[in-house]
Structure 1
Amino acid sequence: MPGWEVRPSNRAQERRLRVALVALLVAVPLAFYAGSWWQARSTQQQALAFQETQVQAEAQARELDELRQRMAVLSSGEQLAQQSNEQSRLTIKLLEEQNFKQQQELAFYKGVLAPDSKVTGLLIRSFDVHATETAGVYRFKLMLSRIGKDDKPLQGRLNVQLEGSMGGKAKNLPLSQLSGDLPEGSTEKAIPFAFKHLQAIPDGGRLGELRIPEGFVPKRIRIKADVEGGKAVERQIEWTDG
């Protein structure tokens, strides 16, 4: 027929085209469903991972909270212990000061006012030392008194040395190097005193603080009193830190 063109048919090619078209039509929904399935699976895995992480975080939060509570209890216990120790320390110090005041009164009545005493002049009555809760730190009190009926004031200078050893060698340390609780005007070899009946160093019912260098082993305290217009008095006291 005029205007028509007849071409030979290629059935094999047409078949391949139809198969490809069908495959394409099938592949599109499969790809969609596969993508949806993968996305859902990925979302599920992420949800599981999130839940697992959340469980771990909650467990760690509980553990941290328990640890904080334990620390709070321990801290409270330490504070109570510190408060108790501080209260005990203050109580001990107060009792020591009260005891020393009583010793002063006894010295006054027994020594100063003893009418039958055959010894007159200055008496180095005591040098008391008490250990503290801090290593190498001690509290001390030196007490001087007068024996006899004379009311004339006694005055002079004290030389107080702490004898001991350090590094296996003998060593003496002046009290002025170990404590700042000494009368005004004290030097390495001279601690001034002046009293009528008795004197405590330090005064005011206080206890002095004495710091011993690390490695020093105290053995005794040697006290020499040079009295103006009188005889020198010397006393040696063995070291005790009870």
Structure 2
Amino acid sequence: MSDGSHRLIIRTAAQARRRRLMVVVAVATLLVSGWGIYWLGRLQAPTAIERQVASQQKIESDRKLLLAEKRRLEAENRKLSERNVMLERGADVDQQAISALQTSLDDVQAQVATLKKELAFYRGIVSPSETEAGLRLQELQVHPASEAGLYQFQLVLIQAVEHESPVSGQVKLRLEGLQNGESVSLAWPELVLDSADELVFSFKYFQELADTFRLPPDFEPTLVEVIVTTEPGAEPVTGSFRWREVFKPDD
């Protein structure tokens, strides 16, 4: 009896130690598993704080990139603005130079045209051709006067130098045009302000004549005829000029 009781007690103590060991192992296993799951979870899914930190870091990084890009664009814009100002200044200088050059060119061309006109004028006096010898109508211009309906004409008469004697005579104008849709011819007494006024000339080489005349309000001139009479019995010198070619309206 005594031996059997002793073996029972030993088995019971051994079983208790095994149970405690199993419990310790189980607890350790649970702790290790839980710790592993925790770290695995941390590795696989960041916490809210970590996500917030990461989000703030990304925002700050993006902000720095945008700020750097903004500064780059502002610097480029300044360069382009400075270049544009330089180009505009250069264009202004070029345009001013071109305008000044064009003005000078226009002046020179006008002077050349005037010189050509004067040269032709004096050539006609000094060495006229056979068909141009004698008394000639050199030029006619009509300008509007200060009063409405009034006009002033300027007529240049020339004579070649081969004629040593002065020439004298009288000039009259006659206008053709339309009045109330009909063809009308106006003689000098109908045009001149004073019907008793006579336009006379006397010169050896050339003379410029001028006078003022009036047109009816409803008269549209188309042609100006100049009649120059000299000594009695001599053939009059006449010339016809289109109104649109001799009329020089004021600019």
Q: TM-score, normalised by structure 1?
A: 0.45
Question: More relative contact order in 1 or in 2 (CA 8 Å, sep 6+)?
Answer: 1
Question: Highest CA radius of gyration, 1 or 2?
Answer: 2
Q: TM-score, normalised by structure 2?
A: 0.44
